[in-house]
Amino acid sequence: MKKRCLIFATVLIATTIVSGQESVPFIIIENPGGATLGYSPASGIKIITKDKLAFKDLNKNGKLDPYEDWRLPAETRAMDLAERMSVEQIAGLMLYSAHQAIPAPPAGLGGGTYNGKPLQESGANLWDLTDAQKKFLKEDNLRHVLITTVQHPEAAAKWNNAMQAYVEGSGLGIPGNTSSDPRHSANSNAEFNAGAGGAISLWPRELGLAASFDPGLIRTFGQIASAEYRALGITTALSPQIDLGSEPRWYRISMTFGEGSQLVTDIARAYVDGFQTSEGTYEIKDGWGFHSVNAMVKHWPGGGPEEGGRDGHWAFGKFAVYPGSNFDEHLKPFAEGAFKLNGKTKEASAVMPYYTISYNQATDGTNYGNGFSRYVITDLLRNQYNYDGVVCTDWGVTADEGATPDLFAGKPWGVESLSIAERHYRVIQAGADQFGGNNDKGPVIEAYRMGVKELGKSAMRKRFEQSAVRLLKNIFRLGLFENPYLDPQETTRIVGNPEFMKAGYEAQLKSIVLLKNKEKTLPVTQKQTVFIPKIYKPASRNWWGIWTEPTLDYPVNIETVKRYYNVTTQPDQADFALVFVSSPQSENGGYSLSDRKKGGNGYVPISLQYSPYTATEAREHSIAAGDPVVDPTVTDRSYKNKSTRTANANDLDVLLKTKEMMTDKPVIAIVDVSNPMLFNEFEKDMSAIIVHFGSTTQAILDIVSGKHEPSGLLPFQMPATMATVELQDEDVSYDLECHKDAEGHIYDFGYGLNWQGVIKDARTARYKPAR
């Protein structure tokens, strides 16, 4: 329902938009040639008119203050507002919430209640605020919210409106800044139908975007993703992850853009430009505007070189090491990419340091987690690279670690012995502005008091205002102070619209890499009969510690396959076979509590092969070690001569058994790749091999059937053996001996086939290093 009325004093149009009786009403005021205002009548704020223009009286003092004047520069407004804020309000602004789901489940990640009850028992709407959200928004003054799953786009828009109306009438009227981790990855069973929309546009994972070797495509992704984000109420992207994937065993390499520093640098620039830039009537100033989404690049100064591939989310992976003295190479995607944009916004508006200790890299002699390191944040990022944007810690760095190194808990690496409040103070001293995953202002205020005691009230107040200005600029520049509200119907129209879906699907096609094509097995253009084996997936535990049930099922939607080929369950009746598997998955992440209980140090290898693996070539002694609180007796993390298995070792059996059943008929391996992997266990038995990085079955079959020609290139090397993996340096790219297949092709960075043979084009000329 829409109502239109005329405000004669300012000759403006006001519109009340109500999308169903249960949603939050808000008023829209259009300033001729100026900002469009949106506010909720329930917030209690009034409109001030000056020079025949309308402004929101956010602090309800009856006059136009500089921060309320949309004609002024964002920096001027931010400085004025920071001066007006209490310490408690700034402390709340420095918080970034834990993960929030819309609606909240009754328990687990993002869990919450509504009036003390689970959603299903409360009578609340899907988009209502939870009890915890109301508390941290009102009592803790939190304004930065990280959301995860949303029921559907309309629910996200309505939740945004409910949240913005709730905070608009509180204190100084600072709007919420909602963020998200990447949310556009394709599901294998999703389908693209030309002209049809979806819940959100579907793209390959980051490695898949990188496999296109096309920064222009990544910029287009940023433009589309930012439009969908803004329609959902998301105004900060906790991305891109521009760590160099120089360590092949690191499981988060799957979220990077690969190991090539020049490629990652160009992608970082394109990605951030796409997300942050508003153009035409959507621009407010300097490229910022109503289509802009703040990009929080991560993870400074590069989280890729984890010793042994172990990840910093756990105590067993707290160290990044540099045996190749290649620290500076990991800075390039930031310094030469995200901080040197082609667009008018000039640089990424926020940076997230990684959990890791960049071992022995700080010139001040300290070994603190990056979020606690003054060298990493102030000396290097702020002073050497002149970065004055927001620095936000990764999630949970100030919380206490678990009782054993394998527990997913706090990550206070290097400052384990400090109290929670002392860790907050150390982060502030280091030069950071914000605490990821903290809903409670209490420790921030305690840190402020510590600073007052050490430095004096004036100095500490100045330091808090410095962070407040940085944080507020990122809200002002997006126009949120003027109008943070969404029309749910417009949200539904924008998110996952046919144009965006088509672009995502085309990107999936460009991300698929053909590695092997013996005797031109592909494409299979005629409607032949295909055999597809079922895949057993054992029970596994995700990084939140939640176990999944084992399954035995088809790895793809068979109904989708039937649109391309006849499907049989009998190999002897098939013309060819398609075997869908995943790259080898580590079952323990590099640490085994059972090994520790048996008297070992707990550290075990991470394998990139399906078969059982014994690390005979591993380091005699680890480069770094130390768990001063939970396991102080372990001073060496070496796993030499220890053995490990992969969780999906059965995938190899399926590949080889299928070849045995198909005898001399073609077997085509389709591998969903998340890490570099060994192909020497099965490659010679395959007629063709396709790898992808999160593409739909439909996109893969469009390649297999010849509807589209493959054009993707490998974003990292594929190792020949595990020995070369053990002997490479974690911080150095391109230092593996690569797999050479039966056709004589080497699976190196930048390698890929099309129907004619090995791809050599402008992309390989620019990005493939000379050998």
List, for residues 103-145, the tens digit of each pLDDT value: 999 988 789 999 999 999 999 999 999 999 999 999 999 999 9
pLDDT of 18 over the 80 cut: no
- Cβ-in-10-Å burial (0-12, 13-18, 19+) of 399 comes to middle
Q: Side-chain half-sphere of 709: how many Cα atoms within 13 Å?
A: 10
Beta carbons of 422 and 431 less than 8 angstroms apart: no
CA 304 to each of CA 206, 225, 301: distance values in angstroms, whole numbers, following the listed order: 15, 25, 9
Name the pLDDT band for 282 (thresholds 50, 70, 90).
very high
Name the pLDDT band for 410 (thresholds 50, 70, 90).
very high
Query: How much is the pLDDT for 1?
Result: 32
Type and span of the H or E element at 35: none
Query: How much is the pLDDT for 627?
Result: 87
pLDDT of 189 over the 70 cut: no
The whole-chain average pLDDT of the chain stands at: 94
What's the CA gap between 415 and 422, in Å, rounded? 9
Computed over its alpha carbons, how large is the radius of gyration of the chain? 27
What integer is the mean pLDDT of 726-740? Answer: 98
Query: How much is the pLDDT for 545?
Result: 66
Query: How much is the pLDDT for 544?
Result: 60
- Read off the tokens for 707: 């509807």
Query: How much is the pLDDT for 748?
Result: 98
pLDDT of 541 over the 80 cut: no
% of the chain at pLDDT higher than 70: 95
Query: How much is the pLDDT for 199?
Result: 86
| 573 three-class SS | helix
Query: How much is the pLDDT for 628?
Result: 87
CA 771 to each of CA 325, 589, 735, 748, 753: distance values in angstroms, whole numbers, following the listed order: 21, 33, 11, 11, 19
Peptide bond into 412 cis (omega under 30): no
Query: How much is the pLDDT for 9?
Result: 31
- Read off the tokens for 552: 């035995």
Query: How much is the pLDDT for 286?
Result: 97
Name the pLDDT band for 489 (thresholds 50, 70, 90).
very high
What's the CA gap between 714 and 694, in Å, rounded? 14
- Cβ-in-10-Å burial (0-12, 13-18, 19+) of 638 comes to middle
Name the pLDDT band for 15 (thresholds 50, 70, 90).
very low
Strand order in the sheet with 26-30: 2-7, 12-17, 26-30, 36-39
pLDDT of 28 over the 50 cut: yes
pLDDT tens, position by position, 562-614: 999 999 999 999 999 999 999 999 989 999 999 999 999 999 999 999 999 99
What's the CA gap between 304 and 330, in Å, rounded? 8
Query: How much is the pLDDT for 550?
Result: 84
Query: How much is the pLDDT for 425?
Result: 98
Name the pLDDT band for 7 (thresholds 50, 70, 90).
very low
Name the pLDDT band for 539 (thresholds 50, 70, 90).
confident
What's the CA gap between 505 and 499, in Å, rounded? 10
Query: How much is the pLDDT for 551?
Result: 83
Q: Side-chain half-sphere of 681: how many Cα atoms within 13 Å?
A: 24
Beta carbons of 680 and 656 less than 8 angstroms apart: no
Beta carbons of 213 and 263 less than 8 angstroms apart: yes
What's the CA gap between 763 and 262, in Å, rounded? 11
Query: How much is the pLDDT for 720?
Result: 98
Beta carbons of 683 and 691 less than 8 angstroms apart: no
What are the residues whose beta carbons fall under 8 Å from the beta carbon of 23, sequence distance 6 or more?
127, 158, 161, 162, 488
What's the CA gap between 150 and 492, in Å, rounded? 13
- Read off the tokens for 174: 């600072």
Query: How much is the pLDDT for 421?
Result: 98
